């Protein structure tokens, strides 16, 4: 029997999307066909993107006719997920990517996005909640929880190998989030300006690209720490895993968080996590037990806690070992993606039988 096909709607360059698709290929023997919006959401392109979005269902139906996929899957319940369900292609699976997917919370289009999400919730055959936080939002939204799968995709534990750098002579910190405002890299740079003033030696590697790259580079010069900061730009996952293994602290200060694969990767690789105190992170980090939680925007406390943790190597060593065990148990890509792929095959079999 020829390989079954899945049509994926979403941003194919994103690490989460790549993990999802590769897992379905590896553990489900699926062939993946993709479609995504071409226009970015900046400036005048925003108008072009809206027009492209409005015409998207026509394009999706043409792809379905040409490739005859057995199933459609999509990320984000308010955008690609809506398009997937509105296209009428069955069976369908949609993943809620963030805490609500309605972002930003004060958006002028909040009411409209809520309507799109409600439609997606009602018409999707399967809803992915990558963590408990998403599932809680779905339940509050009146979703039929029988069609919700609460399971993270996980990370490749053969790629993100544990390396204990706890005996290093300085802090080797890493940030792996996109250089956009919601990830608050400026807060991190302010904190490390203070760490430098404390007399604690460090290097900070910032992985990723985004609209704030030049601004952040200039900020590091303004804070007189540019010689300690490395901006790598976007890297492939193999290079990211190598840098994580060479690092001993992982810093992430976003204003919102769902289920962070970046956090799992860092925990698996032996980095001590210092992250924003958000519901999504509290599902995996207990403050002062297996990492540190910092209130949003509090760069002074961030600096103090980084320096304090650096001075507690015995405790950090125990945290690193326990975090690796946790990720192996909860976020093993080879286990979780096999469950997801098997579920898709089951859904397709059921759809074929009913037709």
Place of tokens 């303004």: 222
Confidence of residue 14 (pLDDT cuts 50, 70, 90): confident
Determine how many CB atoms are found less than 10 A away from the CB of residue 308. 10
Do 17 and 330 meet the contact criterion of CB atoms below 8 Å apart? no
Domains 5-154+332-354 and 171-330 in one fold = yes
pLDDT of residue 293: 98
To 5 degrees, how large is the angle CA 174–CA 180–CA 185? 40
Helices (H) and strands (E) in the chain, counts: 14, 12
| 55-94 per-position pLDDT tens digit | 999 999 999 999 999 999 999 999 999 999 999 999 999 9
The pTM (predicted TM-score) of the whole model is: 0.85
Q: Are 252 and 178 in contact (CB under 8 A)?
A: no
> Tens of pLDDT along 116-165?
999 999 999 999 999 998 999 999 999 999 999 999 999 999 999 999 88
Task: Give the pair of three-digit tokens for residue 310.
Answer: 């650096």
Residues, the chain = 355
Predicted local confidence at residue 41, as pLDDT: 62
Q: Which residue has the tokens 């405790």?
A: 315
Q: Is pLDDT at 1 greater than 60 in this prediction? A: no
Homologous superfamily of 5-154+332-354 in CATH? Glycogen Phosphorylase B; (3.40.50.2000)
Rounded to an integer, what distance in angstroms lies between the CA atom of residue 340 and that of residue 156? 15
Instruction: Name the CATH code of domain 171-330 (choices 3.30.420.40, 1.10.260.40, 3.40.50.2000, 3.40.50.2300).
Output: 3.40.50.2000
Kind and range of the H or E run holding 203: strand 202-207
The domain segmentation of the chain, as residue ranges, is: 5-154+332-354, 171-330
Among 46-60, 211-225, 296-310, the minimum mean pLDDT is found in 46-60
Q: What pLDDT is recorded for position 145?
A: 97
Q: Are 266 and 161 in contact (CB under 8 A)?
A: no
Non-local (6+) Cβ contacts of 158 within 8 A are 334
CA distance 151 to 337: 9
Closest CA to 340 of 20, 11, 12, 5: 20
Write the burial class of residue 141 (CB in 10 Å: 0-12 exposed, 13-18 middle, 19+ buried).
middle
The DSSP element (H or E) to which 347 belongs, if any, is: helix 333-354
The CA distances from residue 309 to 123, 162, 239, in Å, are: 48, 19, 26
Cβ pair 239, 155 in contact under 8 A: no
Confidence band (pLDDT; 50, 70, 90) for 2?
low
Q: What percent of the chain has pLDDT over 70?
A: 97
**Residue 44 tokens, joined:** 């005048």
Say what the pLDDT of residue 259 is.
87
Listed residue (333, 151, 125) closest to 237, CA to CA = 333
Q: What is the pLDDT of residue 40?
A: 64
Label residue 44 by pLDDT band (50, 70, 90). Answer: low
Say how far residue 200 (Cα) sits from the centre of its chain. 31
**Non-local CB neighbours of 131 within 8 Å, separated by 6+ positions:** 150, 152, 258, 259, 280, 283
Q: Which residue has the tokens 């792809």?
A: 63
Torsion angle of the four alpha carbons 344, 78, 100, 340, in this order, in degrees rounded to the nearest 10: 10
Query: Contacts for 10-13 with beta carbons within 8 Å, 24 or more apart?
Result: 10/34, 10/36, 10/74, 10/75, 10/76, 10/80, 11/36, 11/75, 12/36
In 3D space, the residue among 188, 205, 202 whose CA is nearest the CA of residue 300 turns out to be 188
Question: Running DSSP on this structure, what letter comes out for residue 61?
Answer: H
Is 240 strand, coil or helix? helix
């Amino acid at each position: 029997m020829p390989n079954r096909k899945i049509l994926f709607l979403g941003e194919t360059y994103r690490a989460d999307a790549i993990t999802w698709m590769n897992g379905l290929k590896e553990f489900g023997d699926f062939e993946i066909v993709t479609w995504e919006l071409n226009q970015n959401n900046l400036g005048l392109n925003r108008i072009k993107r809206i027009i492209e979005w409005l015409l998207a269902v026509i394009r999706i139906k043409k792809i379905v006719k040409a490739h005859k996929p057995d199933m459609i899957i999509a990320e984000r319940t308010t955008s690609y997920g809506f398009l997937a369900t509105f296209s009428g292609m069955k069976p369908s699976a949609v993943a809620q990517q963030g805490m609500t997917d309605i972002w930003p919370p004060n958006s002028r289009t909040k009411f409209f996005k809520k309507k799109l999400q409600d439609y997606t919730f009602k018409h999707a055959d399967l809803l992915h909640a990558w963590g408990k936080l998403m599932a809680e939002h779905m339940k509050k939204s009146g979703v039929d929880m029988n069609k919700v799968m609460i399971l993270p995709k996980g990370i490749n534990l053969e790629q993100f190998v544990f390396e204990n750098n706890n005996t290093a002579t300085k802090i080797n910190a890493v940030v792996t989030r996109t250089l956009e405002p919601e990830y608050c890299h400026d807060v991190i740079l302010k904190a490390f300006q203070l760490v430098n003033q404390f007399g604690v030696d460090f290097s900070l590697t910032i992985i990723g690209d985004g609209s704030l790259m030049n601004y952040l580079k200039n900020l590091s010069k303004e804070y007189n720490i540019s010689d300690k900061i490395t901006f790598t730009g976007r890297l492939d996952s193999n290079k990211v895993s190598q840098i994580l293994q060479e690092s001993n602290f992982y810093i992430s200060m976003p204003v919102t968080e769902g289920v962070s694969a970046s956090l799992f990767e860092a925990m698996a690789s032996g980095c001590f996590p210092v992250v924003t105190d958000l519901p999504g992170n509290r599902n995996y980090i207990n403050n002062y037990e297996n990492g540190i939680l910092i209130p949003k925007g509090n760069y002074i406390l961030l600096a103090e806690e980084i320096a304090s943790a650096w001075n507690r190597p015995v405790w950090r060593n125990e945290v690193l070992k326990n975090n690796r065990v946790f990720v192996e148990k909860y976020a093993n890509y080879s286990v979780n993606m096999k469950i997801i792929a098997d579920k898709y095959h089951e859904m397709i079999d059921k759809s074929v039988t009913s037709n």
